[in-house]
A and B are shown apart, each in its own frame.
Chain A
């Protein structure tokens, strides 16, 4: 598909922001400045940038524990996103959710999730809401190759199809469920599984932003037209472990280095657009550097952000009237 200059620049800026964000979280988590567990999406930026470019404000998304890049691609406030990961009171969830539970309902972001497979049923519910509202919105469920084996996902496939809901299922397959390879854990193929429920499925090269965007546009439009759910199986890879601190000895020697050299979606994007003379190396370099600086400033602000206090502990357990 043809994108104009503004759209191409936006796509690259999104991917650059996602990359720098994760590199910053990696360094600062390793330095002990971020509490808990973080799951980084570096390497998977084309999924976030491509899918979210195909979505509209009226759409809803339920996503996985590996969601930082998707928060950025959704246009969530960058500072509030980073603040949440630091557990600051100014975080988008007031510091109560953190990396694994970050959400922004105003943006249709129903949250990262600590429960594998939970996103499928949530998106079915959002699909029911979208249909009831009648405003043309759709719902998207992200899950990984690991999540694809959770019973809830199969139940969600079935419900979305019998009710012909405006739902898009996206299996973001980075090759590993924690430390277990999808070549071992997944029987059959994702596309064949989708077909078993009567919905179309497409396998997509997740290192290629344009392939992701094209496929996403098609399944999103199909859902929006009222033609029912579909599956996208995005084949991608992560540059880091399951969580920061994972020694990754289950991976082949040199696997990550080879990915970074040959399958970096930012580099592949650059080769394509510069090769076609759509954008210049200089423009892309400038954006990359601007985003690096923006993330650095955001990081410093998060480190100095105000912290929650005792008064916050018992708020929002229930609604107040």
Chain B
């Protein structure tokens, strides 16, 4: 199977769906880049190159550079989605949801329910999240919990190139609004990705390894920390199950509960802040539905309850580490 980057996998998914379905459009700031100036069109293809080539292939009526008007274009995408198009909107950094919540929360998320099931809102919001690039407080947040809280929105957090392609195709074909989280530090990660189209259903967790002692649920980029921790712990005779939920809404509760019932211990690894987080949510679900099988208190590994700092040393301290995951697993075994 050919190896491709996370970036290429997402790009390929969008290009393939745009070829298959002429109602799929892409809009956002600099998704092409170069519009209106004498130099090259498709100069950027998105700030980190994820939409590169789409403008060249599909032209300016299907790949629209927007003004810096997130509130406007998010609302416009919601309007386009209930009237026949399937927009893929690039909300460059998830931090910018602060200026465009309404189009997603009060409009797209509610249409179907409010309108008695008569509306379909096939909208994909692609957005970058995560710390590690020294991009400081307003360009580094991990905000999927905010979307997960809202009924009507689906939330997807792929941890590898294979999943990214299959989940993106599913997101584009899905008839509900989907927020698709891409970790900005993972775009160059490589993995095996088939050339042909395939979908990964939402709400099906991926169990990366099965163990006896502790279940680790990890989200997005944190899946790699969890796997590394599990490998290290195996050398000490501690065997871990590692679960990547892949989608946070819908969440594959069944798989998580089954695995926790088998091991009796749970560690949740989440790059976002600890309060009102997906880690807190999963801990609560397990506490409520698998309490009797727990042999130890649930442990969370998260970023601290502070904004993402700029200074390299501080950001490194902010990010959860493999050692943090190992320590949390050991706490459940103590």
Contacts and interface: CB of A to CB of B under 8 A. Distances in A.
A183 B37 CA distance: 7
A252 B37 contact: yes
Contacts of B96: 115
A101 B310 contact: yes
Given A98-B134, A249-B40, A180 B30 contact: yes
A89 B310 CA distance: 11
Interface string B295-331: 0000000001111011111100110000000000000
A308 B311 contact: yes
A133 B96 CA distance: 33
A35 B68 contact: no
B35 interface: yes
A35, A37, A179, A252: most-surrounded residue (chain B CB, <10 A): A179
A36 B134 contact: yes
A251 B37 contact: yes
A164 interface: no
The A contact surface, by secondary structure, is loop
Interface residues of B, number: 44
Nearest to A253: B39
B135 interface: yes
B47 interface: yes
The B contact surface, by secondary structure, is loop
B317 A313 contact: yes
A116 B305 CA distance: 25
Contacts of A312: 309, 311, 314
B33 interface: yes
A89 B313 CA distance: 10
B138 interface: yes
B309 A186 contact: no
B309 A96 contact: yes
The 6 A-B pairs at the shortest CB distance, nearest first, are namely A184-B36, A114-B138, A98-B310, A179-B33, A181-B36, A250-B34
Interface of B: 29-30, 33-41, 43-44, 47, 65, 67-72, 95-96, 98-99, 133-139, 304-307, 309-314, 317-318
17 contacts: A35-B311, A36-B133, A36-B134, A96-B137, A100-B138, A114-B139, A118-B99, A150-B99, A176-B37, A177-B67, A180-B37, A184-B37, A185-B67, A307-B311, A308-B313, A313-B304, A314-B305
Interface of A: 35-37, 87-89, 91, 93-98, 100-101, 113-118, 146-147, 149-152, 175-186, 247-253, 255, 307-310, 312-314, 317
